[in-house]
Each structure stands twice: as structure tokens, then as C-alpha cells.
Chains A and B, each alone.
Chain A
Amino acid sequence: MIGLVDIRKRFGNHEVLCGISETFATGEVTCIIGPSGSGKSTLLRCINLLEQPTSGEIIIEGEIAYYDIVDGKARLHAEARISKVRRKLGMVFQDFALFPHLTALGNVTEGLIYGLGLEKGEAKAIANHMLARVGLADHAGHYPDELSGGQKQRVAIARSLAMSPKAMLFDEPTSALDPELVGEVLEVMKDLCREGMTMIIVTHEMKFAREIADRVIFIDQGAVVEEGPPVEVLDAPRHERTRNFLKRVMR
């Protein structure tokens, strides 16, 4: 479903991603773990072109996405074409990134109306259904400022799901939440997993990763150090760096 071929990303002289190749199968749930600054967010953001890789290819549903390499240089596709691919990938941000001037319902209908071109009535029906799905049916009229962190993140998930994405990308979806609000967001994500959604999740919640992930990828300094099922990577890591990292976060 998603393929990454030798993705590199450099900010100035600092190589943040040093050639990452991965495939993410349909329905697979992958958790990406690693120390702060290791390039997890950057990798996720390359998948939907919020960052443009310095080199490498991204393949979405069998097609080369976003740009073609011509004479060794990336030539970006037209905006509409990029948009079409991006819509297949829902994205959930650590800081929610809700639109503060729109209600919960407005946040969800926005992409349906102005991204997909649906009628307002139809968009509202879908949006209400999505809000119900994340347990916020009776908060449709609330503005983000009137919602708790957990509720905000669930609206953000509904906003992404409304676009009927083929995969969902999560960048530390619970890191900005008070501990007592983490559970409600993780529950919604587990529901998605049960429904067979393809998910790539950057997280520091090791217990959650063990529960939900088909595969765990440990990244350090912009490279994949170790990957495999949670029982291997989390419980019996082969690499010294993985062990050290886990020791630190499990404390």
C-alpha cells in the first residue's frame, strides 16, 4: 500500500533521514519508535509530502507519488494531483492542528466540501457519522477551545477519517494529552485497527504499541536499527541501541 525507497532528508548539512526503505502492507499496523530527534516525524511527514525528501521515492498504491525524478532532479506533480494522493493518507498531529475558527462539525466537513467537493448536506451527514464514531456526536457544535485535549484529538481523527483514507498516519497522537485523557484516544485507534485500517503510528506508548502493532520499527539517527513483531523488538531486542532506548523509556 505504501512503499518508501531509499528516502533521504537533509536539513542544511544535517542528514535527518539516511536512506530509509520500508513497505507498509494494507491493513498492517506499524508503530515507529525511537529517541527524540531520530527523524520519526520527518519520516511520517515525507509520506504525505509535508516534507519533501531530498532523494528517494514514495509509492502509494503502486504508483510513484508526488514527483518524478527527471535527470536526477525531483519534478513536483501539479497541486491537484498531489492533493489527490494526499487525501488517501489521513494525518493526526501531536498538537491536534484543529481549525480554531470552526466547530467540531465544521472541522470535519471542511475537507469534504472544499477538498472532495461534496454538497453541504451530504458533508454534514458524513461528518456527524464520523463524530459519532469517535464518541463525540453531542459535541458537533463545540469549538476546539471548548473541548478537552482528548476530545480535540478525537475530532482530528474524525476529520481525517471523513476523507475515507486508505491509511492513517499518527504522529505522537497522545503526547500532548494529560495522562487521564490518553485512554480515550487510544481506544478510538484500537477500533480503527479492528476495522482493518492501515496505520503508521509514531508513539512513545510502549504498552499500546505492544497491544496494537503488527510490526515495530526502531529508528535511531535517521536509520532503521531494528524491526519486527512487538514480541521481538520490544521484548527481545537484538541490538544494543534498541535495548538502551527501551530501558530508558520503560522506566
Chain B
Amino acid sequence: MEFFNVDVIRDYGGALLHGLLMTVILTFIVITLSLGLAIPVALCRMSPYRVIRAISSFYVEVIRGTPLLLQLVYIYYVLPSIGLNLSAFFAAILGLTLNYTAYMSEVYRGGILAVPKNQWEAAATIGLSKARTLQRIILPQALRIVTPTLGNYFISLFKDTALASVVTVQELTFTGQIISARSYQYFTIYTVTAILYLSVGYPAALFVRWLEQRTQHGFRSRSV
């Protein structure tokens, strides 16, 4: 087949795999940070203190109201003018984390609010403090509620890391762009790029579906 040029793969396969590795690394760093940071942000959004609520809401609304692409560009190209120089890699990490933390905090908030009020009340009657109740009673139930949604965020983050290319991070998509422009083998390079995304993305999607099913039924002695 004349479209598909195997020699190109021999020449550039290593670079593409390297790009894939960068994509995976970005995904894992950002998902880990966001999963953790989104919980305190969610709690701030529900804080009894108005100032804390206002600040955290402002952050979430700014992130939700602007495109991720713009956020990345802003961090990489605009922040240096106020003296904040970040490497492309850290700019991407920061931008993606700020973005995903905002969205995931909304998911956690929904999950926490979905736990019935009687759980707070029952915990209060056996002497648990608010903080303890949150930690021991509410969050474990909320986590189970939000797991499927967070799993889907994980999948979409994997693909959104392609946007890091606008701040020159050589992840998979950007690597594909560079070498296809250099070799003019668009068909081959972009097809391989897509296959590489799928080779990680599809198993990841299966994993998320499995997680989803696991969390469908209630809590039981031998949960599968």
C-alpha cells in the first residue's frame, strides 16, 4: 500500500513512542494532583465561611468559563511577563491540573451532597465531630458515588494532554505533527499516532468500565 510507509515507522517509531510516554506521564501526574487537590477545593466551596466560599467559587467559575487551550497559553506565554517563567512541561502540568481540579471539585461536591443527611445526624449522635464525620462517614460514601464520573475525567484527560502541544510539550500529538511535517508522511504518522492513543486509551476505558461496575452495587462482605 502506497499510503502506508513502513520505513517511516522504522525511522520515527522511537520518537512517537517517546511522545506517548510523555502523554502518559502528563496524564498520571495531573490526575494524581487533581484527584487530591479537588477534595479540599470542594470542601472550600461548601465552607461555612463566606470568604473561603467566594474565593473557591471564583476559581472554579473562571476555569469553567474559559477554554483549557487559553488557560495553557496564558500560563506559558502571559505569566512570564509578570516574572513567572515556567518550563513548557511545568506550565502544562500547572494548566491541566488547575483545570481538572476545578471540574473534579464539582464532582466531589456533588458526591458529598448526595450522601443522605441522616449520615451526618447519626454520626453526630455517636459523638463524631464534623471533621471526623466527613473523613470516616461521608467521604467514603461520596467516593463510591463519584468513582465512575472521575474515571471518565481520567479518560478525557488522557486525550486533553494533546493540548499541551500548544505550549511546546512534545507529547504524542505534537511529536506526530513535527515528524509528519518533516517527512510529509501524514497518513502513516497520524495513523500510527491514533493507534498509539488507542492502545492505551482503550484498555483504560475498559478499566474505568470495570471500576464503574464494581461501584454499582452496594457495600457487601465480599465485594467481587
Contact = CB atoms under 8 A, between A and B. Distances in A.
B129 interface: yes
Contacts of B128: 83, 110-111, 114-115
Interface stretch (A31-39, A95-103, A207-215, A235-243): A95-103
A90 interface: yes
Contacts of A89: 125
Contact of A143 (B121, B136, B220): B220
B140 interface: yes
Contacts of A110: 123, 126, 128, 136-137
Contacts of A138: none
Contacts of B125: 48, 50, 86, 89-91, 160
B3 interface: no
B127 interface: yes
Contacts of B119: 97, 99
A145 B127 CA distance: 24
B184 to A, nearest CB: 58
Contacts of A144: 219
Given A97-B119, A114-B136, A115-B128, A146 B144 contact: no
Q: Which of A80, A110, A141, A146 has the most CB of B within 10 A?
A: A110
Given A50-B121, A97-B121, A143 B126 contact: no
| Interface residue tally on B, bucketed by range | 20 to 34
A145 B122 CA distance: 17
B137 A145 contact: no
Given A50-B121, A101-B144, A162-B126, 14 more contacts: A50-B124, A50-B125, A79-B129, A83-B124, A86-B125, A86-B127, A87-B126, A95-B118, A97-B116, A98-B122, A101-B140, A110-B126, A114-B128, A143-B220
Interface of B: 116, 118-119, 121-130, 132, 136-137, 140-141, 144, 218-221
Contacts of A102: 219
A83 B127 contact: yes
A40 B162 CA distance: 60
A93 interface: yes
Interface residues of A, number: 36
- The 8 lowest CB-CB distance pairs between A and B, nearest first, are A115-B127, A111-B126, A97-B122, A97-B118, A91-B125, A87-B127, A145-B218, A143-B219
A75 interface: no
A102 B122 CA distance: 13
B122 A143 contact: no
Contacts of B127: 83-84, 86-87, 111, 114-116, 163
Interface of A: 48, 50, 79-80, 83-84, 86-87, 89-91, 93, 95, 97-103, 110-111, 114-116, 141-146, 156, 159-160, 162-163
B219 A101 contact: yes
A143 B124 CA distance: 21
Given A87-B127, A90-B125, A146 B220 contact: yes
6 contacts: A91-B121, A101-B141, A110-B123, A115-B132, A145-B218, A156-B122
A79 B130 contact: yes
Contacts of B221: 103, 141-143, 146
Nearest to B130: A79
